[in-house]
Structure 1
Amino acid sequence: MTDQASAAQDEGASFLVLGLLVIAGTVGSSATLHFPEVLLDPPSFAATLVTGDLIGVILSLAGLVVSGFVLMVLSRRIGTAHGRSAGAVLGRSLGTAHGRSAGAVLGRSLGVAAGTCWGISPLIGLLLIPLWMNDVGAGMSLLSWIAFAGAAVAAPLLLASWTMVLVRRDPRGRVLGVLGATGLSLTAARSSLWAVNAMLPPERGLYLTSAILTVAAMLMFPLWPAWLIRKGMTRRRASAVLAPLLVLGYATATIGLAPAPGGDGVPAVPSAAGSAVYLVAMTVPALLPMPVNETELDADRRRDLAIRPALPADATMERVDAGGVPSERICAGKTSAGRMILYLPGGGFIQPAGNGPRWLAAAISRETGACVLLAHYRLAPEHPYPAAMRDGVSAYRWLRLQGIPASRLAIVGDSAGGNLALTTALFLRGSGEALPAALVAISPVTDLTLRGETFRTLSDRDPVLTPGTIKLTFDSYTRGGTIDLRDPLLSPLYADLAGLPPTLLMAGTQEVLLSDVTRLGDRMREAGVPGETQVWPGMPHAWPLVVQEAPESRMAVARVAGFLARNLPTVR
């Protein structure tokens, strides 16, 4: 075997090893640590992920470090042993006498620089592990940003340039190489936008564009390691099968294996799953159908009646009459008597609760150790305001009559149910009755006058609450707007909020109700109501129900459970 043939064989083996290391490292780090996006998140998130799978995190980051080293070695080898052919191509295009050496130097420099960024950034991640686990704050933010800039922005751009130099040198797998370089460029663009969004207030982030770039990068990036592996293979047909398999496998692993971080607060970066589901919902509105007229509403109700109740395997359901309100007592996991959560589901005041609310009720029950009473309140337009709110009050009073003290009761609601959770508490306060220990309102309707800014600015980004749906639901509940829309028991934004129990408000950045939630949160702080307002980046309306596949849904349930645990001493 000649020296040139031996060098070519070694080069092919290096490409193959590099491609396999990149796949293993990127999939592993995404599935265990959300790397590199976790670098932009609160450190508490990383701590929960590290303690959950410490060995997996270390191995994945170590794999990325090794791949960076292999890339540097490979680049030097190509630059010295095979720089002539690359230089010849560049020399002809540049028309210079020194094109050969210039091409060799360029390829070597780009590869070494990319390998340095690719290797040092996860190495910093390894150094951050003990800091995350021991809650050391000093210097952590700076290290995280350096690692993120190197791994997620600089390295992909350098790798894209390096790839294009090699593609011009060797026509094998040229199309795959160009597509892979495009995927790297999209990855850098996606990461740059992530960083911008992380620095902006959540409600000002560019999350639709971010979702598009995230999905595009997720689908295109695997073509780069596919090109690397193709460079190390001799069979062309095998590489034709390899690329789609890597794309499918990488997307499946990134979405399906992504863990849900714990800790407090909300993520700085939407998950790949959350971005993908939101983008699909925006592209195919029929996946999240909401009625826009009474004919569609009647059809939806008939379909709902035909669906049999379904619950997780560890959950039980008992139908009860809660003071004249048909309800379901749902318990999941290990629950204790003497504690209860009243759950008022959404549906725009017009749709009955289906299996989505049942699954959410079961998840909350499992996380808190408390059973959940899912109340099926009367629906508009047959029963407009204040029927639903009065049913919420009746269900609460029934729970009190069962011997459950108010200090062991909480009210949770989503969307229209979030409105009812708030107005039920306001009615109870006005009646002089003992209030629940805590309130949770997920994407609540707080202002039926529709004066919120995001009803205009986000109307084209909300795949759930379209203008037609909003008109139907609000008109149905308010008798066509003929009643006082500023009535505090209809629009709690205009209520005197003083004296309400600790309240957790949650909203997604992609829903028209965002300003409803943030304005109410501001007024609650002014009134001295304890609690917090969480704005979740990239999430649509009522995402724990709408995008149950996303880690953010599991995270939101955990945040609800944590809030209730802090305010209900008897809840574990």
Structure 2
Amino acid sequence: MAVSRQAHEFAEFLADVSAKSSTPGLDLAVIRDIVDSHHKASTEPEGVSYAEVDAGGVPALWAVPEGADPDKALLHFHFGGSVTASMHSDRKAAGHIAKAAGARSLVVDFRLAPEHPHPAQLDDAGTAYRWLLAQGYQPRNIGSTGHSIGGTLAVLLPLRLLAKGEATPGAIVSVSPWTDLTLHNPSVDENEDNDKMLSRATLELFRAAWLQEPGVDFTDPRISIANADLTGLPPTTVHYGAYETLADDGAALGRRLADFKVTSEVHALPEGQHSFILGAGRVPEVDQAIQRMGQWLRLHLGS
């Protein structure tokens, strides 16, 4: 199946931003500014308004579609390997997903590494979740969503809640997740030329910034979902691009969800790029995938 012209243009856009951000000698603050420009790939979703909030001490941004169900909320985590990106880079893509789901979305501006290594991002995710509960949202009415490292956090948060005996969100949408921190999956190298955003070298930089504990074990199930016990996870859908360095991470997560009898679906986007939801509103294949994500959330939240 041939992919659309818009999908090719989106891949070129990602390659252009990657080239700018990997210019030698750039200060991290400048790199972060460049990465935040990924928001330009998405169109502004019609009928969605935004409001910045303090979610229990964590900065966040509400994306509120017209006519959204007042009882349901999404908790959305952005991309960037824990080192770059922000609630601003994800604002529009999160708005498109929120609109598809008919629910407002809280886009979490979690702390970034290397200044704030693991588990700061997961701690902030938990704080924002508890803030939603304090606002009166029931756990079963909250969807955990995100892409790239955000797709990892979207799963790690419910796993951490399960380990503590706490109620999890009602559904998960994990896009382009990084699930194996050992970087042993073949697609990491096989898709090196296809993936216009990520490379092994970039992933290694992110990993070093994020996981700073002495003697850290990259197979630890608390960081590598590939090795985690997934028993008890809420209904989970995984979406990934076939051209991603992390394509095998997404596919393997799908298989493990089935092994653990979690209600799940897995969707591979043909020739899809890492974090493809950033093409929301411009790339027809992306919009179709986002409609699927919205249907998953409508089906499982509150049930």
Distance 1:294 1:382, change over 3 A: farther
Superposition deviation, residue 568 in structure 1: 1.6
Select the residue among 259, 283, 286 that pairs with 2:16.
Answer: 286
Distance 1:556 1:308, change over 3 A: closer
State the SS of the aligned residue for 1:339: strand
Alpha-carbon displacement from aligned partner over 1:69-123 (angstroms, at most 9, x marks no partner): xxxxxxxxxxxxxxxxxxxxxxxxxxxxxxxxxxxxxxxxxxxxxxxxxxxxxxx
**Cα contact 1:448–1:485 (8 A) shared by 2:** yes
Bigger relative contact order (CA 8 A; separation at least 6): 2
1:380 aligns with 2:110: no
Alpha-carbon displacement from aligned partner over 1:528-553 (angstroms, at most 9, x marks no partner): 01111111111111112157521011
Alpha-carbon displacement from aligned partner over 1:489-510 (angstroms, at most 9, x marks no partner): 2111110011100100011110
Counterparts of 1:337 and 1:436, CA distance in 2: 16
Select the residue among 41, 61, 66 that pairs with 1:328.
Answer: 61
AA matched with 2:185: G
State the SS of the aligned residue for 2:278: helix
Select the residue among 78, 84, 104 that pairs with 1:345.
Answer: 78
Select the residue among 230, 244, 250 that pairs with 1:497.
Answer: 230
Count the aligned residue pairs.
300
Aligned to 2:295: 562
Distance 1:396 1:468, change over 3 A: same
Aligned to 2:26: 295
Counterparts of 2:285 and 2:29, CA distance in 1: 32
Superposition deviation, residue 420 in structure 1: 0.6
Superposition deviation, residue 306 in structure 1: 10
Distance 1:302 1:345, change over 3 A: closer
AA matched with 2:255: D
Superposition deviation, residue 333 in structure 1: 2.1
AA matched with 2:31: D
State the SS of the aligned residue for 2:117: coil
AA matched with 1:540: Q
Q: TM-score, normalised by structure 1?
A: 0.49
- 1:175-190 paired onto structure 2 within 5 Å: none
State the SS of the aligned residue for 1:552: helix
Distance 1:277 1:375, change over 3 A: closer
CA radius of gyration, larger in: 1
Counterparts of 1:401 and 1:320, CA distance in 2: 14
Select the residue among 441, 464, 468 that pairs with 2:174.
Answer: 441
Counterparts of 2:271 and 2:33, CA distance in 1: 32
Aligned to 1:464: 197
Aligned to 2:102: 369
Distance 1:471 1:565, change over 3 A: same
**Cα contact 2:20–2:34 (8 A) shared by 1:** no
Counterparts of 2:17 and 2:286, CA distance in 1: 18
Aligned to 1:36: none
Superposition deviation, residue 295 in structure 1: 3.3
Counterparts of 1:305 and 1:275, CA distance in 2: 21
Superposition deviation, residue 425 in structure 1: 0.8
Aligned to 2:51: 318
The answer for unaligned runs of 5 or more in structure 1 is 1-193, 195-268
Distance 1:296 1:534, change over 3 A: farther
The answer for unaligned runs of 5 or more in structure 2 is none
Aligned to 1:402: 135
**RMSD, matched Cα:** 2.6
Superposition deviation, residue 479 in structure 1: 2.0
Counterparts of 2:279 and 2:294, CA distance in 1: 19
**Cα contact 1:289–1:464 (8 A) shared by 2:** no
- 1:415-564 paired onto structure 2 within 5 Å: 415-479=148-212, 482-546=215-279, 549-564=282-297
Where is the strand percentage greater, Structure 1 or Structure 2? 2
Counterparts of 1:566 and 1:481, CA distance in 2: 43
**Cα contact 2:73–2:142 (8 A) shared by 1:** yes
AA matched with 1:507: Y
Counterparts of 1:308 and 1:534, CA distance in 2: 23
Alpha-carbon displacement from aligned partner over 1:259-307 (angstroms, at most 9, x marks no partner): xxxxxxxxxx4223224543x358xx32444745783532123457899
Counterparts of 1:537 and 1:299, CA distance in 2: 33
State the SS of the aligned residue for 1:318: strand
Counterparts of 1:567 and 1:532, CA distance in 2: 12
Counterparts of 2:117 and 2:246, CA distance in 1: 21
Aligned to 1:115: none
Alpha-carbon displacement from aligned partner over 1:316-371 (angstroms, at most 9, x marks no partner): 22211112211111102211312100001111111132544110121122222211
AA matched with 1:300: I
State the SS of the aligned residue for 1:343: strand
Distance 1:305 1:413, change over 3 A: closer
Distance 1:332 1:481, change over 3 A: farther
State the SS of the aligned residue for 2:69: coil
Aligned to 1:156: none
Superposition deviation, residue 315 in structure 1: 2.0
**Cα contact 1:311–1:355 (8 A) shared by 2:** no
AA matched with 2:29: D
Q: Percent identity?
A: 31
Counterparts of 1:473 and 1:546, CA distance in 2: 23
AA matched with 1:334: G
AA matched with 1:321: D
